[in-house]
Structure 1
Amino acid sequence: MIRAALKWVFVGGLLGLLVGCSPLKVLNALTPGSTFSRVADISYGSDPRNKLDVYTPTHAADDAPVVVFFYGGSWNSGSRSDYRFVGEALASRGIVAVLADYRLYPQVHYQGFLEDSARAVGWTREHIGQYGGDASRLYVMGHSAGGYNAAMLALDPKWLASVGMKPSMLRGWIGLAGPYDFLPIENPDVKPVFFFPNSPPDSQPINHVSAASPPALLIAATDDTLVNPQRNTGGMARRLREQGVSVRELYFSKPGHATLVASLSRPMRSLAPVLDEVVSFIHAQDQARVAAHDL
């Protein structure tokens, strides 16, 4: 009882710090460096923002699963350096993590950052073997706006086709509080990114679901006030199931929109077992692939 109370005092104090200063810098400062090796500032394209970092587990096998992670920020802000705690979390569980920057609005509209996201995945498939990853065990993952990027790569074949890939080359995709069905757009910061009021229906991930879509893990905060969880996560899960696609759908009450991804960090993991669910999902896809091969 006392230990549990102290834990929540610590979490409460940490939440206070997150409100009072740069939240991600606090989490990164509390992230250990012993579980991974990082190769930073790798170029995957010609633009200055076409850079990525690779986090390889300290004791990785040569055929480790690989997750390409895209951060959120309404497609107008963000940096891979802010998400060191995500790279550490995945690497600590034996997963090679690739954290990619991409061009943002107003430099580009939505097509531009999806092109970049596809290039980052294409680079990963081609080169990740040099960093201990298995390109045949490849996943895309994102939080918030980054969840949109991951969903579009997994669901709309034209983006990965631009780098000689197909969505079927992904073992699965993972969305944390992602926006998948958000027309008409209400957020004024997002409207110009998608050409409001002429936002094309083709820009919505939910409109690209098919029976060939990769398996999905969809996680949301129950009381998310920024991205409606019932419409987006719930609606996407229903559409996938209607097409016979395997999907695991989870909602957690303690985190909010931002702290859902923060729960991947060591100090915040008591908020929700997001990391455990990501790892379980990846292991389940591996087992399903082995079972299918044995048939």
Structure 2
Amino acid sequence: MLYRGMDKIALDAAYDNPRAVGLPVLQQIMADWAARSRDIASAARLTEIRYGDGERNRIDIFKASRSSGFHGRATIAFIHGGYWRSQDKETYRFLAKGALERGLNFANIEYTLAPHQTIGGIVQEIRQAINCLNRHLNQVIPDHSLLHISGHSAGGHLVATTLNERGVSSGTSISGIFDLEPIRLSYLNEEVRLTPDDVARYSPQHHIPALSPPLIIAYGEAELPELCRQSEDFHIALDAGKLASKLLRLPQHHHFSILEELADPEGVILKEIVSLISGTFPAQ
């Protein structure tokens, strides 16, 4: 047995989110996201900045109205998933809707994909993106006060690895991966190419810090059991370390539908983020 009593076939299935949802269903979801992303890109105030020399070192910034909610003084950044080896920021622009309606800026981070980049290189790119984003926001919004980083799946892993970066106030990991060992042992490693040293160095489950900003951990109860377990175990580890962590178990959501709770202005995840931001937001 390779991992937690699973052989290679079982382990591959345990992390195959498209197969679990069904390819026709996923294709329909992705087409819907793409259409909604095109709509908001044409209707909202969108600019793109670069944070490095790589082709994919880019960040979308949707600027909120100064007349609503947090008046554009706080930002939610998002890191997309795709098991570090697929997807792009353009597909996830639809997520900006909820943040903008709440008066929050929305930043959408892209990064170099495996196998063209190592896991360590990807983590470093996200660190560069966060630092660049903070500098940019402070330059264009003089009273900008708070950056909340969020991410889905592989993006949830990248949130957990960069939560302690300077300028990050809090974070949200949605359906994240916190122990990389099953990824190394599964079909996914054909492209991600993790080594045992990568697993030891970049698994948040094995690096619980002494201090950390608050983290929301969310997953759908209709997800694959291994994805649910990863979130549960990481929350337990943070809680044991007396770190601020809130676990959201969202019934009826699978690995992809859960993102509607961030896109919707009244979504459960977005409301939790707003509540967290409100508790730490400087008085005007």
Same fold (TM over 0.5): yes
Give the structure 1 partner of residue 33 of structure 2: 27
CA-CA distance at 1:53 after TM superposition: 0.6
Give the structure 1 partner of residue 59 of structure 2: 52
Deviating more after overlay: 256-265 vs 142-151: 256-265
CA-CA distance at 1:24 after TM superposition: 3.1
- Where 2:148 maps in the other structure, the secondary structure is strand
Q: Specify every segment of 5 or more residues in structure 2 that has no aligned partner in the other structure, as ranges.
A: 1-20
The whole-number CA distance in structure 2 between the counterparts of 1:64 and 1:223 is: 35
Work out whether 1:280 is the aligned partner of 2:275: yes
Write out aligned runs for 1:1-295 (5 A). Answer: 19=25, 21-30=27-36, 33=40, 36-40=44-48, 42-59=49-66, 64-132=73-141, 136-155=145-164, 160=165, 166=166, 169-185=167-183, 186-190=185-189, 192-196=191-195, 199-225=198-224, 227-230=226-229, 232-266=230-264, 273-286=268-281
Number of residue equivalences? 258
Identity %: 23
CA contact (8 A) 2:71 2:103 kept: no
CA-CA distance at 1:80 after TM superposition: 0.6
The whole-number CA distance in structure 1 between the counterparts of 2:31 and 2:62 is: 18
The whole-number CA distance in structure 2 between the counterparts of 1:129 and 1:35 is: 24
Q: CA RMSD in A?
A: 2.9
Relative contact order (alpha carbons < 8 A, sep ≥ 6): 1 or 2 greater? 2
CA-CA distance at 1:190 after TM superposition: 3.5
CA-CA distance at 1:195 after TM superposition: 2.4
Q: Residue by residue, what CA displacement relative to the aligned partner does 1:193-226 show, whole Å, maximum 9, x if unpaired?
A: 2524564311101222223111111111113117
Structure-2-length-normalised TM-score: 0.80
Q: 1:25 to 1:18 in 2, by over 3 A?
A: same
Q: Specify every segment of 5 or more residues in structure 1 that has no aligned partner in the other structure, as ranges.
A: 1-14, 161-165, 291-295
Deviating more after overlay: 118-127 vs 199-208: 199-208
Q: Residue by residue, what CA displacement relative to the aligned partner does 1:170-195 show, whole Å, maximum 9, x if unpaired?
A: 21111001011242434312365252
CA contact (8 A) 1:180 1:205 kept: yes
The whole-number CA distance in structure 1 between the counterparts of 2:239 and 2:180 is: 20
CA contact (8 A) 2:64 2:104 kept: yes
Structure-1-length-normalised TM-score: 0.77
